[in-house]
């Protein structure tokens, strides 16, 4: 299966509903050489609530690793 090099996700152990992911910082950016780890907990009826486990300095990621975009908020 193809995909973006430097991006991966897979089940965390035997629990198919608990996934972990990683994103490698892109070359030529301030993120180069850094690997960011994510938690992707799935449920039967909702999309996963993705959070960064690795601290990230980004305007759309809060201090707890939550991705902060209006499109992700319940309205």
Domain ranges for the chain: 7-57
State the pLDDT at residue 73: 59
**What tens digit of pLDDT does each residue of 32-50 get?**
999 999 999 999 888 888 9
Partnered with residue 47 across adjacent β-strands are none
User: Residue 55 above 70 pLDDT?
Assistant: yes
Mean per-residue pLDDT, 47-67: 91
Mean pLDDT for the chain overall: 88
Select which of 29, 68, 69, 70 is catalytic: 68
Whole-structure pTM value: 0.76
- Known catalytic membership, residue 20: no
7-57 adopts what CATH topology? Ubiquitin Conjugating Enzyme (3.10.110)
Contacts 24+ apart (CB under 8 A), 56-63: none
Over 60: is that where the pLDDT of 1 sits? no
| CA separation, residue 36 to residues 14, 26, 31, 75 (Å) | 22, 11, 9, 29
């Amino acid at each position: 299966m193809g995909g973006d090099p430097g991006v991966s996700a897979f089940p965390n152990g035997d629990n198919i509903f608990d996934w972990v992911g990683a994103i490698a910082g892109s070359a030529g950016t301030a993120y180069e050489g850094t690997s960011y780890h994510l938690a992707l907990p799935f449920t039967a009826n909702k999309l996963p609530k993705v959070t960064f486990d690795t601290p990230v300095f980004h305007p759309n990621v809060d201090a707890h690793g939550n991705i902060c975009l209006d499109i992700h908020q319940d309205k």
